[in-house]
Amino acid sequence: MERLIEKYLDEWKDSLNRKPLIIRGTRQVGKTYTIEKFAEKNYRYLLKVNLEQNRNIHSVFESMQPEQIINELSVLYKVAAEDENTLFFIDEIQACPKAIASLRYFYEQRRGLHVISAGSLLDHTLNEMQYSMPVGRIDFAYMYPLIFSEFLTAIGEDGLVRVIEGFSFDGYFGEAVHKRILELLRLYFFIGGMPEAVDYYIKTRELSGIEKIHTSLITSIEYDFAKYGTRKQQEHLKDVLHYVTNNVGKKVKYVNVNRNASSGLLKDAFLKLEMSRIVHLVRHTRSTNVPLSQMQDNDVFKPVFFDIGVLNHIAGIKLMDIDNLVTAFEGALAEQFVFQELTASGEPYIKQKLYYWIREAKNSNAEIDCLYQIGNSIYPIEIKAGKRGKLKSLHVFLAEKNKETGIRFNTDIPSVGRGFTARVNLPDRVELTYNLISLPLYLASRLGSMVIQ
């Protein structure tokens, strides 16, 4: 299946300032498959080592000398190591910190050799490394489960992908095409974007085996918890994992996770899952201008899961009757989907950070699902599961922060409304005039590239 990151890998290969590349992502998002596919397309030789499966070769990296490392591995694996013709692929590099540290020397001493590494628990290793990080000598890229457009491409719906990618505010958008995309969006909600699940559906067009795949994915994730600390810490990780799947998009209250555990231990569990890319934390910010990070509150956040299909599985929502499935979870799924798309659809070399805004005041609470930067402007986003929904919080935000335009994601066709009016309950303002850009959920991946006037 085709992945968006492949275009970036092509650019990396031809870059005049190419550096060893580390691809970061949670387990089983397709890192190894994509790199091997890239190697087959672009190189004469692939020299691949897996440092988790074969720990006997860790000693090869002790010298930190690229020539010695590559010559020894070339002999052991019987693969030529030729500049420009060989891709040296170090898989599961987090298992050997010295291998990470040695990457800087490949950049300095063997720049003709193309080097890519990948790992699923890299952030933990990088955070605890005793060796100096090769700052400025390596590049990073981030990989996620398939976003919706990648899913559509994989199942043969290239025409719908062209509709999504070709969207413009002044173009025509047909109702029949819109309804077809929504049907497949609902299917994606329950299959998700993990390559194994998508591949199973492509080959069988059945949903019956996907729950088993999701079960296996969760088992492997929980198995990794053994690497994170004590048994008690592992229990907290499981508590947080299951809390997140039932509380997507809700401000975290530690007492609701485990009332018998301290907030410090539970916060540490959230941060560990964030480093593992299993959970994304959307942080509260008081800033309404660029940069949003300048007034972020690291102690106030809401969680989003890494994959919507696996989330549904853990939450106990069955796949077998999708057409008739209407639950109170719909709003959470819509928010999960939009955040998942926004996180994964940006440039691969940028670690996307997401923010939201909350106002807690007597008789005037308000919460904006997401604050998002387009160009140098910040837009408030509200996410709705249906075609309609109150926009009270959006009105409060626009009025209080003197903003003109808000964005709503829902299941209706795209529209732009200007000069709307609304009443607001603020001490110094009772009426608001504003613009509303309404987009279907499936256009979330396009948001960063839109020009909003």
> In the beta sheet, which residues pair with residue 285?
296
pLDDT attached to residue 325: 46
Residues in the chain with pLDDT < 70? 124-135, 318-328, 362-363, 453
Residue 100, pLDDT score: 93
What's residue 326's pLDDT? 46
* CB-CB contact of 341 with 147 (8 Å): yes
Residues 117 and 160 in one domain: no
For residues 160 and 130, state if they share a domain.
Answer: no
CATH number (domain holding residue 31): 3.40.50.300
* Residue 133 shares a structural domain with residue 173: no
Task: Quickly list H helices, 225-288.
Answer: 231-246, 254-257, 263-275
pLDDT tens string 352-368: 999 999 987 766 789 99
pLDDT at residue 233 in the model: 87
Structural contact between residues 380 and 397, judged by C-beta atoms closer than 8 angstroms: yes
Element (H, E) at 222: helix 210-224
Whether 124 and 157 map to the same domain: the answer is no
The total of other beta-carbon atoms located within 10 Å of residue 136's CB is 9
3-state secondary structure of 31: helix
Tally of helices (H runs) and strands (E runs) in the chain: 16, 13
What local confidence, expressed as pLDDT, does residue 453 receive?
Answer: 65
Q: Do 208 and 69 sit in the same domain of this protein?
A: no
- Residue-wise pLDDT for 113-125, tens only, equals 999 999 887 776 6
Whether residue 193 sits in one domain with residue 130: no
Whether 131 and 169 share a structural domain: no
Reported pTM? 0.93
**Where in the sequence is the domain holding 45, given as residue range(s)?**
5-142
Look at residue 145 in the predicted model and tell me its pLDDT: 97
The identity of residue 327, as a single letter, is: T
* Angle separating helix axes 175-191 and 330-344, nearest 10 degrees: 90
How many structural domains are present in the chain?
3
- The rounded distance, in Å, linking the Cα atoms of 102 and 10 is 24
